[in-house]
Structure 1
Amino acid sequence: MNASEGWQRLESRLEAIDRRVRSLESDPSRRNSFIPYIVDRDSPYTNVDGQYPDHDGQPLLMMSGYSYLGLGGDERVVEAAKAAVEQYGTGTHGVRALAGSIPLHRELEAELARLLGREEALAFGSGYAANVGTIGALCGPGDTILIDKIDHASIVDGCQLSGAKVTRFRHNDPGHLDRRLQDSDDSGLRLVIVDSVYSMDGDIAPLPQLREVCDRHGALLMVDEAHALGVIGRSGLGIEDHFDYEHLVDIKLGTLSKGIPATGGWVVGSSRLIQHLKYAARPFLFSAALAPAQAGAALAALRILESEPERVTHIQNEAARLRAILNEAGLQTGLSETAVIPLIAGSDEGAYDLATACRKAGVIGIPVVSPAVPTSLARLRIAVTANHTKAHIDTAAEVFIKAARECNLIEA
């Protein structure tokens, strides 16, 4: 078999993706994927000049961004990134275990550990790498991992790569987890993994009940705080803060690219756990170290989170208000109880219809379709940030409701 035969066999897979994109983005006005947004640093507005035939160049209100704390353009964060580049350059000299570590990495890790109440922390190149690396370093053949049915893809991939047996339990259902653990092999390590805030639904894992179940069966509990840091808890410190507990999580990790406006991932825990991950987490050991600018920006943002808790309070209050307005109008927002608010449209095409109508009215709401969500639950994934004023929320709500009526999702 020569290379041309191999390409022929691959062609059907390439065609499937192409056909799906063309069906959802059937004309230029329906484009929603891989749009290069021109961001306004000081506001939640963005622009997409040249992307749409019907766009007149006016700024659009971004309602689907991840920068929960609104710090992406904050001058203090930008200056910290610049200072890191001035001191250390644009990159490092390799992986952390060799010549890639710089003092800024240790400063960032010490701040993460202190803020989150653990002995030590470890910074990865991404949240995805943190999940895959941590799972693979802790589990292998003979072990059992139990994951929530809608855990993030990075958790699923880490489980599959680990070689451990993987069992799923119903979403946010401690009773079902209890039965799964009862039926599982207890001869090896058993690790339960959940998201603290689910990125497409905006609901929160029932941490106290999960902890109780894990303790009953001698299982460890790992929680991904990607969409929780800066979002839930009185101080924005995640799920333990939310439930007013100090230590209910055995292994806690997250990202530096959501509430914290940089890139990277983190794990916090005991000194012995972090020491193990340094030598056994392959994405950490064999990937280039976190770039200085990202480490500097993340460190500055963490300090702002601690010193300005009013940002978190604003997010929580405005998210609750937006949900109430939308629900009163008849829009479905699922089980959301955080800054993440799904606007359920139903079909994939319906989600694209709704997104297109919203954009034409001046608001960006990005559609999420199958297989990322169930086929009948395609939605716009909305996120409230500290940069959204009450006026912005009112404007967005008005546009969402009007667009939903145009798309026959709610009664006129």
Structure 2
Amino acid sequence: MAPKLEATRRRIDALESDPSRKNSFVPYGIDRHSAQVELEGRKYLMMSGYSYCGLGGDERVVAAAKAAVEQYGTGAHGVRALAGSTPLHEELEAEVARFLGRESALVFGSGYAANVGTIGALCGPGDTVFIDKYDHASIVDGCKLSGATVTRFRHNDPNHLDQRLRAASPDGVRLVVVDSVYSMDGDIAPLPELREVCDAHNALLMVDEAHALGVIGRTGRGIEEHFDDTVHVDVKLGTLSKGIPSMGGWVVGSPDLIRHLRYHARPFLFSAALAPAQVGAALEALRILDREPWRVAHIQDQSAKLRAVLTEAGMRTLASETAVVPVVAGTDEQAYDYATACRRAGIIGLPVVSPAVPNTLARLRIAVTARHSEADIEFAGQALLEAARECRLIPATAAV
């Protein structure tokens, strides 16, 4: 074990060689009423947070969490199959299903658990799972733990998926799993083409909406709405910790599917139920998002403006078309240099480095939220370009 521990120490020490370069596990002070955070007595504009809908500090959400604690206490009484279920859990599941246009829903302890549990409940030895090269780690881990054969296809490439399906065994369950919005690139899965390929090969299509709920579609209902509800998926799941500012994961589908997951998804069956505060907060946030779709439009408008400012100045934002805006720096070291320069310019833009992304495509993962004002986005664009010029990622004469 010692060599592994030493390798980790050396890597972190090299990237975070002094306190100004520390980016992992930083305890930011949160301002509930703005997009700012506090670090060592200074205010910064947070540009790498996940709370897309800007509801984390909303008084209505906080009040709902408090009310849930007042009624149900601070923790669950066990797993959902035994003493852990409450009427509040069932109310949340009904709201998730209604919001996403399905008959039934099941809420897990996390989005990670939802992916691992769902894949493991649907597939096993003798089955085949086909996953996009850029799928989230929870999807990859769910595949490994299921015991099914795992086949990868090129990112957002339906033709390559078609080839993989043709070459695979026709026996058993054939499940294709993709993210709807990819968390590091900000691009969207080509759902109509994927659906066509899956139908041609009698394969199920499962989509992880973790970074899509509240972000894409006219009212934030995700990838099906993004494609005008002309195409549907067989299994849809996501999280309650990003667009919805709580904790937990969800799966929606037919009553038969949800019944099967209740009894066969091990992370659900053997984990304590969500705490009441989390359930209450998630339930209220979903209802607010339903009533306030302007939040989704704001995210989409402001992320498009920020992308335009960056790309016009020569920064690479890859194929982003959502609230997730990757700003490529180059090597891991360059990404840390860039993050440090951004902090000096007044914003927090956090680096994503290898092995999460290729070492040549290390980046800042920027995220636009409904909490960001137009002035915030203008300031962020100026800061990102100022830092990029300082790090020589763009010429010193590049326009702001």
Q: TM-score, normalised by structure 2?
A: 0.98
1:65 aligns with 49
Task: Give identity over the alignment, percent.
Answer: 73
1:306 aligns with 290
Aligned-residue offset at 1:197: 0.1
Determine whether 1:88 maps to 2:72: yes
The one of 80, 96, 112 equivalent to 2:96 is 112
Q: Report matched runs for 1:40-51 at 5 Å.
A: 40-49=31-40
Aligned-residue offset at 1:360: 1.0
The one of 144, 147, 150 equivalent to 2:128 is 144
CA distance in 1, matches of 2:382, 2:44: 14
Task: State the superposition RMSD in angstroms.
Answer: 0.6
CA distance in 1, matches of 2:98, 2:387: 45
CA distance in 1, matches of 2:2, 2:323: 41
Q: Report matched runs for 1:249-288 at 5 Å.
A: 249-288=233-272
Q: Report matched runs for 1:184-203 at 5 Å.
A: 184-203=168-187
The one of 190, 193, 200 equivalent to 1:216 is 200
Q: Report matched runs for 1:283-362 at 5 Å.
A: 283-362=267-346
1:39 aligns with 30
The one of 17, 21, 24 equivalent to 2:12 is 21
Aligned-residue offset at 1:96: 0.1
Aligned-residue offset at 1:361: 1.3
The one of 18, 21, 24 equivalent to 1:30 is 21
CA distance in 2, matches of 1:82, 1:179: 52
SS of residue matched to 2:42: coil
Contact 2:115 2:142 in 1 (8 A): yes
Aligned-residue offset at 1:247: 5.2
CA distance in 2, matches of 1:366, 1:233: 27
Q: Report matched runs for 1:92-103 at 5 Å.
A: 92-103=76-87
CA distance in 2, matches of 1:205, 1:92: 36
Contact 2:181 2:188 in 1 (8 A): yes
CA distance in 2, matches of 1:379, 1:72: 26
CA distance in 1, matches of 2:389, 2:193: 40
CA distance in 2, matches of 1:270, 1:294: 25
SS of residue matched to 1:59: strand
| Per-residue CA distance 1:129-184 (angstroms, 9 max, x = gap) | 00000000000000000000010000000000000000000000000000000001
CA distance in 2, matches of 1:271, 1:173: 32
Q: 1:41 to 1:375 in 2, by over 3 A?
A: same
Which consecutive unaligned segments of at least 5 residues does structure 2 have? none
How many residue pairs were aligned?
A: 396
Contact 2:195 2:231 in 1 (8 A): no
Which consecutive unaligned segments of at least 5 residues does structure 1 have? 1-9, 50-56
Aligned-residue offset at 1:58: 2.3
